[in-house]
Amino acid sequence: MEAALSPTPMERRPAKQGKLTTPGTGSPNVRLQGKGGELGTAIVCTPPPLPTLEYKQKLTLSAQQVENAGEHERTPEAWVSLAVPDRAITTRTMSSVVQKDFIERLFKGAASGSMDDVRLFLKGTFDVNVKNERGWTALMFAARNGHMGVVKELLQHGCDTTVINSTGQTALDMALFWNHADVARILQTDSHQANPDDNPRNYFSLNPLNRCSEKRKDKTWLRNKVLADNTRFIAFHNLSVLATKLPKGTSSQRYELARVEMKDIELYMAANPVTVFLGIEQTNRHTPLTFEEPGLFAVDLSLAEEDKVLSLMPDSILMPGYPAAMQLRPEEAGIYAEARSMLAWHDRYQFCPTCGSPSRLEEGGYKRVCEDMECRSHNGVHNTCYPRTDPSAIMLVVSPDGKRCLLGRSKRFPAKMFSCLAGFMEPGETIEDTVRREVEEESGVIVDRVEYHSSQPWPFPASLMLGCIAYATTDHIKLDEEEMEDARWFSRPEVVQMLTRQHPQGLFVPPEQAVAHQIIKTWVRRTANL
């Protein structure tokens, strides 16, 4: 079982194992044998101590004793005895030595299938996706060795199945490679994160609201909804959203949308600011909607002073657009996308695009109607009355030999960032046309087959990114010098370094909240054995 901790298990299939000991450290080593002979020796960390008498004594230490003990004496068990039953163990109160011990115990427990060790860790409020120096998570260790019980336990605690290690494998890749079909099935069908290829869920796309578009024309219903006690407002000021900080340690995302009550903004509402009905926070979509379920609106408070908006909610900030908005809770980033795109539309379309007369809001803010009754826009279908969305294609281009992918640097990118090529769709184009045209314009590369990956609302101000994987038939690059600063073919190992921020020259790709990141990761997943 020790081979489970070998540094590169994907490349090393041990046929035979033999134990030796590293002189000086006492740590057992594992000699790895392949078909062609010895593949190398992996150092295995010292196994967790057995429950000796000393350990058992520590289990019963009092809180004061633990506080007083030297760092080396504060074992995980002692901390757990402190935490049970109602105090969670937090990294804030724990010395770095014990933290390290905890994490090591988690990895070893996951690799050996020891549920007790894993549960010991899960009692705390640590990050279950903590990685070792090779980017391995506990889920990977458990998947690598086919420990179904541990895998299930970790998934229940929110372990992320999409994390890749420093050689670009996910827990699923490991389970498949090592023939743990049952574990692979669980990882593929885990409801928390379905197979990313089948059902990608991009940031800004998770909007839990029932938009109730049928209610937008019901003026009485809308008026009553605005005034209902449990209705809340997402407040914006010059397209920056009012947000509050989340308690530390709950998630890697640091902010959530502030929900303001009518009584706090009555003063501003008298001036009739742009207000958009976003939807209902319906707890169960399968039961009929009742009026009691809370409604959510977006309100543009740009007319108020910034300080006044901030004073609506303690400890709040006005979060500007990209990239700050990447710090919102993913569960509500979709609400933000809807709200910000809508307010940005109203901000830019205050006059009728057909005749230039002022226009007014209708249908809960989902329509603008020209005030001039003679205007052509009152007859027939006029898309100028409705919110706009600009589709853009974004694509990872795979080289003709399938071994490299094309990433580029637009002139406005931060230093050292490379990303997928992207471009706006033009009228009369299919998604495939846009992909082929933009790739050729920006890099000179010719694309044949185009495969759809997933889409992402991009509320800056109102794009819809259409994520694709495109297959090139040529690999000569001729750069569009006006838009692009650079475009290159990257090998898989280099892309993995960029995804995991371990590239020797510090090159990186956009963060996981960008669909570009997800498309790149899909290609890395599909080429796990390259």
Ligand X SMILES: NC(=O)C1=CN([C@@H]2O[C@H](COP(=O)(O)OP(=O)(O)OC[C@H]3O[C@@H](n4cnc5c(N)ncnc54)[C@H](O)[C@@H]3O)[C@@H](O)[C@H]2O)C=CC1
Binding site for Mg ion (CB under 5 A): 422-424, 438
**Mutual angle of helices 76-83 and 96-112, in 10-degree steps:** 100
CA triple 34-37-40, angle to 5 deg: 70
HSE-CB at 83 with a 13 A cutoff on CA atoms is 18
**Neighbouring C-beta atoms of residue 336, cutoff 10 Å:** 27
375 binds, among Zn ion, Mg ion, ligand X, none (CB under 5 to 8 A by kind): Zn ion
User: How many chain residues bind ligand X (CB under 6 A)?
Assistant: 18
Stretch that binds ligand X, among 227-235, 331-339, 370-378, 457-465 (CB under 6 A): 457-465
Among residues 355, 361, 417, 479, which is the contact residue for Zn ion, using CB under 5 A? 355
* CB nearer Zn ion, residue 38 or residue 371: 371
Q: What are phi and psi of 503, to 5 degrees?
A: -70, 135
CB of 426 to Mg ion, least distance (A): 7
Site for Zn ion in 373-402 (CB under 5 A): 375, 377
CB of 413 to ligand X, least distance (A): 8
The C-alpha atoms of residue 186 and residue 184 are separated, in whole angstroms, by 5
HSE-CB at 500 with a 13 A cutoff on CA atoms is 23
The C-alpha atoms of residue 466 and residue 391 are separated, in whole angstroms, by 7
The C-alpha atoms of residue 275 and residue 41 are separated, in whole angstroms, by 66
33-to-7, 18, 45 alpha-carbon distances in Å: 14, 9, 20
389 binds, among Zn ion, Mg ion, ligand X, none (CB under 5 to 8 A by kind): none
Please tell me whether residue 510 binds ligand X under the rule CB under 6 A. Answer: yes
Please tell me whether residue 456 binds ligand X under the rule CB under 6 A. Answer: yes
Of the candidates 344, 335, 374, 339, the one whose C-alpha atom is nearest the C-alpha of residue 356 is 374
* CB nearer ligand X, residue 268 or residue 418: 418
Among residues 276, 370, 499, 509, which is the contact residue for Zn ion, using CB under 5 A? 370
Using CB under 6 A as the criterion, what x/- string covers residues 417-446 for binding ligand X? --x--xxx-------------x--------
CB of 202 to ligand X, least distance (A): 8
Stretch that binds ligand X, among 46-54, 269-277, 376-384, 455-463 (CB under 6 A): 455-463
Among residues 107, 177, 178, 458, which is the contact residue for ligand X, using CB under 6 A? 458
394 binds, among ligand X, Zn ion, Mg ion, none (CB under 5 to 8 A by kind): ligand X
* CB nearer ligand X, residue 171 or residue 509: 509
* CB nearer Mg ion, residue 140 or residue 422: 422
CA-based radius of gyration for the chain = 28
Q: Residue 83 region, left (φ>0) first, then alpha (ψ -120 to 50), else beta?
A: alpha
* CB nearer Mg ion, residue 294 or residue 423: 423
Of the candidates 497, 309, 490, the one whose C-alpha atom is nearest the C-alpha of residue 409 is 490
CB of 484 to Mg ion, least distance (A): 8
Among residues 309, 318, 516, 524, which is the contact residue for ligand X, using CB under 6 A? 516
CB of 410 to Mg ion, least distance (A): 6
370 binds, among Mg ion, Zn ion, ligand X, none (CB under 5 to 8 A by kind): Zn ion
516 binds, among Mg ion, Zn ion, ligand X, none (CB under 5 to 8 A by kind): ligand X
* CB nearer Mg ion, residue 103 or residue 422: 422
CB of 483 to Mg ion, least distance (A): 5
390 binds, among Zn ion, ligand X, Mg ion, none (CB under 5 to 8 A by kind): ligand X
117-to-24, 80, 138, 509 alpha-carbon distances in Å: 27, 12, 11, 35
- Beta pairing partners, 410: 484
10 Å CB burial of residue 96 (0-12, 13-18, 19+) is exposed
Q: By beta-carbon distance, which residue lies closest to Mg ion?
A: 423
Length of the chain: 530
**Mutual angle of helices 76-83 and 115-122, in 10-degree steps:** 50
Residue 8 identity: T
User: How many chain residues bind Zn ion (CB under 5 A)?
Assistant: 7
**Site of interaction with ligand X (CB under 6 A):** 390, 392, 394, 410, 419, 422-424, 438, 456, 458, 463, 465, 483, 510, 514-516
